Amino acid sequence: MGAPRDILEVRQFDRPFLEELFARADGMRAVIAAGGSNRLQGRIMATLFFEPSTRTRLSFESAMSRLGGTVLSAEYARETSSAAKGETIEDTARIVEAYADVIVIRHPEVGAAARAAAVVDVPVINAGDGPHEHPTQALLDLYTIRSELGRIDDLRIALVGDLKYGRAPRSLALLLTQCRNIELVFVSPPNVRMGEDVTAALAAAGLPHREESDLAAVLPTADVVYQTRIQHERFSSEEDYQAARGRYIIDAASLRSMRPDAIVMHPLPRVDEIAPEVDADPRAAYFRQARNGVYLRMALLDMLLT
């Protein structure tokens, strides 16, 4: 595949695209070290965020700025854009297309970015559409695995926590279909198990997975423990949320049973699912993971806009 026009879901990526993107992301480390570049000078990126974000929005904006581009930001778009007056995402996108060369959208509705992409000519990037997908998070997650472990094949990966509403683990599981010899284990409270749409896609792609309720049984052999937040805002009842939260925690005792060369990842923000005592361990990769988001998003913007 060549450079795609839009970035909407993980299914659109193939292995050559990943290799190319990751090689470019490596190169962006040197670009930052050299004080940035002017490659995207004169280009404008608009970020429309209808849901909260720290890392995704700021790392996209940082990435664009590091490449010499300009940023227009609607941070609380649900409250402060015309969406509050009832404007559809399609109409908002049509307007913003006149102001920007690429539009990054986070929205609570599944498929919102795709709907916007269908009506505009500029590239649209899905920065999270409700509980559905977060494709650029999956890209930076796999890039992090490659940076930390030196490979994206031959891995035992445990996805832990809210696999039902968590768009990050959903997208990562789907992206792993591009990798070889992956052992995938899902560890989740019973009411937030991985959706059948994802498990069916994994089966169709020949990527086997198994479910395990005992996190302690998984830790000693995992190369990657990918912990996630229970997505409080997506539950219809507080009772269901309470049933899911607090069951799986990574702490110092977990680290003792993990391999010395394993890593702990998390898309962040964390609530209580990784104890702060884990942060100082070299296997805690989540802050490096967040930093990788800048390199990866620089590479992606560069690919889409040049």
Which of 146, 167, 209, 297 binds ligand ASP (CB under 6 A)? It is 167
Q: How far apart are CA 243 and CA 232, in angstroms?
A: 11
**By CB under 6 A, residue 164 contacts ligand ASP:** no
Residue 106 designated active-site: yes
267 part of the interface to ligand ASP, by CB under 6 A = yes
- Give the nearest distance from C-beta 167 to ligand ASP in angstroms: 5
Cα–Cα distance for residue pair 226/162, rounded to 1 Å: 11
Of 55, 266, 270, 297, which residue is the catalytic one? Answer: 55
Residue nearest ligand ASP, Cβ-based = 229
Q: Is 208 helix (H, G, I), strand (E, B) or coil?
A: coil
Please state whether beta strands 155-160 and 224-227 pair in parallel, antiparallel, or not at all (unpaired). Answer: parallel
By CB under 6 A, the residues from 219 to 238 that bind ligand ASP are 229
Q: Does the active-site annotation cover 234?
A: no
Residue 134 binds ligand ASP (CB under 6 A): yes
With vertex at residue 293, the alpha carbon angle to CA 158 and CA 119, rounded to the nearest 5 degrees, is: 105
Query: Of these residues, 107, 115, 132, 134, which one is catalytic?
Result: 134
CB of 153 to ligand ASP, least distance (A): 25
Burial class of 226 by CB neighbour count within 10 A (0 to 12, 13 to 18, 19+): buried
Q: Which of helix, strand or coil describes residue 111?
A: coil
Is residue 39 helix, strand or coil?
coil
Shortest reach from residue 79's CB to ligand ASP, in Å:
18
Active site residues: 55-56, 85, 106, 134
| Residues found near ligand ASP in the complex (CB under 6 A) | 128, 134, 167-168, 229, 267
